[in-house]
Structure formats: structure tokens, C-alpha cells
Amino acid sequence: MFNDKTAVITGGARGIGRATAELLVAGGARVLIADLDADAVSETAARLGGDVVAWSGDLTREGAADALVAAAADAFDGRLDIVVNNAGYTLDAPVHKLSDADFQAMLDIHTIVPFRVLRAAAPLLREPAKAERAEGREVFRKVVNVASLAAYGNAGQANYSSAKSGVIGLTKTLAREWGSYKVNVNAVAFGVIDTRLTAPKSEDTTIDVGGRAVAVGIPERAKAAMSAMIALGRAGTATEAAGGIAFLCSPWSDYVTGQVLNVSGGIAFGMGA
């Protein structure tokens, strides 16, 4: 399904990003996986085999998104067919305890980074369509932004919810701007997926973000409460989550753009999700 396609996946070393890379590589794609953790992304690239390139860096840094896209252009001879913006993490707290820095950090990784990556990738996604249009051909390219049902409101996640709402707005705007270039721009919104971000919260489970140890996971009681609201009765797997992304990267979604695909097992967060 992905033969002769090239893809960039951010947050590709673990969890949903890695599972997405596995599906695309299995389908014949050449993939660049990007991650903050240099060791993990190198290990994942080696494990995936195929035509996989590892890139590591902090995408919130000035110029990092441009460097990422430049690396993809070099690796893929100037071609880019698929961009999956998946990198992210959480910094949870109620509004009255949220710092400016923690609010901004969520906007940076979940909204500003996808914007910068797509701005840098724009020439690779848009320019080929001009020649293809002149030749009377339609060649679809794909953008998938990872959102969350938390975008519709989730207690304790005002920063994350705001950032994920922002990426949905970015998705719908780019779908309008890039539709004439045959670029499908969609988002996938997850509910509870089993990754290290939703594992039982522990002070021992942290990720390093700019030299700061950030605890990841959610309290077991909170996860149990959310799981009880899932119509299918359990959290999703990373592979099941990646299936939604892969669909939006595939030819089956050529007539789908500007949409948010909920992959949640039937859970509803917030009000009106």
C-alpha cells in the first residue's frame, strides 16, 4: 500500500509512533523516524530494518523543524509523501496550579512544532503537484496530526487540551489551503491508548525534556475510571492506534481531508466530543 512512498514520523521511537512506522515500513514505505531520545530512535530504526532513517533532536528548538525536513529531503532525494506529527508528552495540573512555563510547553510541542514541521515541508508537499496538475495527474500526499479527545476538554489538562485543540484548527485550515495541491490533511484523536504516557504514574517513570525529568503516566484510579467509560471495555493498543494513522496515510483516504478521526474504543471526553 505504501510502495514508493516516503514518510516522516515524529515521536517515532516508541509507542504509537513506532507502531505507525512498523505499518508503513511493512507496506513498503521509506521512513524517517524522529525522536528526542537518540539511543531509542537509533535502536528502533535498526529493529525496523528496511529503508529507515533515524533523526534525533528537540523539535521545540529554533530551526530544528527545518533541520528535520532537510534531513528527510536528503534521505529521500527531495521527495516527501507523508508527514505524521506525533511527538508529544503531558504536564498535567489543574488550572490554578499550572505555571506559565508548563502551559507554554504544551503549546510548543503539540501545536507550534507541527506548524513548523509543516511550514518547512510545504515546498516538498506542494510543489510537485503543480507539474502533476499540468500533466493531468492526481498524486495525493498525506499529513496526519495526532490530536486527542482531550481537545474537547479534560480536567487537569487545560494546557494539553488547549494545545490539541490548536492542532485540530491547524489541520482544518491546512486542509483548505492545500486541497488544490492534493494534500490530504487530517487529524486522529485518541482516547486511552496503552503507552508509557498512560501507564500507572510513578516517580521512576520519567522522560528527559530539555534537561528536566518529566514524570509520565496517569494515576491508576483515573485510568480505571476512564477505562470504565470505554464502550469496547479496554484501552487501545499502540498498533490499533497506528491503524487509524495508517488509514489516513493510505490511498483509502484520498477523498478525506480536514477531518478528525476518533480512535477511542467509544469513549467520550469533554462536552460534545
- 89 annotated active-site: no
Query: Residue 148: phi, psi to the nearest 5?
Result: -165, 150
Task: Tell me which residue has cell 514524570.
Answer: 215
Annotated catalytic residue, options 89, 152, 160, 181: 160
Q: What is the dihedral of CA 180, 172, 252, 46, to 10 degrees?
A: 110
- Crossing angle for the helix pair 238-249 and 15-26, to the nearest 10 degrees: 50
CB of 270 closer than 8 Å to CB of 226: no
Q: Which CB contacts under 8 angstroms, 24+ apart, belong to 15-18? A: 15/193, 15/195, 15/196, 15/197, 15/238, 16/86, 16/146, 16/190, 16/193, 16/195, 16/238, 16/241, 16/242, 16/245, 17/84, 17/86, 17/87, 18/44, 18/238
Contact 9, 3 (CB under 8 A): no
Q: Which residues contact 58 (CB under 8 A, 6 or more apart)?
A: 36, 64, 209, 210
Q: HSE-up of 34 (CA within 13 Å, CB side)?
A: 26
d(CA 8, CA 21): 9
**Which residues have a catalytic role annotated?**
160
